[in-house]
Amino acid sequence: MTYGPAPWRQRSWDWRAAANFVGGGAGSGLIICTALAAPSDAPQAALFLAGTALIGLGLFCVWLEIGRPVRALNVFLNPFTSWMSREAVTATLLVPAGLLAALGFAGTRWIAAALALVFVYCQGRMLRAAKGIPAWRDPGTPPLVVATGLTEGAGLLVAALAWTQDRGAAASLLLAALLVLRAVLWWAWRNNVRTHAAPRALAAIDRTGRWLLLAGTAAPLVALVPALATQGNAAAWLPAVAGLLAAGAGTLFKFDLLGAASFNQGFALSHLPVRGVRR
């Protein structure tokens, strides 16, 4: 169904828009977590470059979705009213800041991290502004999107550091904390949307939620415990698996949030007209 009184799934944003949220969130999270928790012997230049590349890839995917790509610059016209415009403006500053951080310019890592946090926050507010989609407009959506992006970035950082000498103990602790935070925010968000989301949207949310909580939260936490306690070579693969599971679950959640769970509320008619009855 594409129109009628019952809820139907939105068709304006497809996998390309979801890829922007995945790439932008994971890339921003990787930049932030690298600035916060990467050890001195880590390949920080490559990590900052990878985070910037993920953001650029996400923006490229959403550019492909535009019906008239040559008019893409119109997105900059409403920074005072549109979170999409604010995301675009932030991206124009974030990409060069990320490149400068990769080149090792002093202080730019913190500038890039601050801009990355603003960028992923704009993504969360973009969904919150879509008032017709119950799963998006909930007040818990922006913090959940931010926490998911940070968790994805921390997961990628831990996976990248798993084979270094330091093993990224601080990054592993950061990932564990973010996993718990994401699970708590998801649970609160799920309880909020259950009262007004469509049954098919809730079914998609619950299906993805099982993966998010089990494979994307419980399993990584279990893998991180021996990885933090044992710094030998035998445990090198455990943080890598934990990080990839955490990032993969976030990716799946975002694709379902913008896809299978993106049902609108349908027609909300509080008073129906009755023929022959005075208004």
User: Torsions phi, psi of 239, nearest 5?
Assistant: -65, -30
Q: What is the pLDDT of residue 76?
A: 78
* Gap between the terminal Cα atoms of the chain: 32
Q: What is the pLDDT of residue 66?
A: 73
Q: What is the pLDDT of residue 29?
A: 97
Q: What is the pLDDT of residue 181?
A: 98
Q: What is the pLDDT of residue 70?
A: 67
Domains, the chain, ranges and CATH?
A: 15-257 (1.20.1630.10)
Distance CA 103, CA 274 (A): 70
Residue with tokens 């959403």: 62
Q: Is the CB of residue 241 less than 8 Å from the CB of residue 223?
A: yes
Q: What is the pLDDT of residue 166?
A: 67
The stretches in the chain having pLDDT less than 50 are 232, 234
Distance CA 58, CA 51 (A): 11
Task: Give the tens place of pLDDT for each residue, 211-241.
Answer: 999 999 999 999 998 877 765 454 678 889 9
Q: What is the pLDDT of residue 272?
A: 63
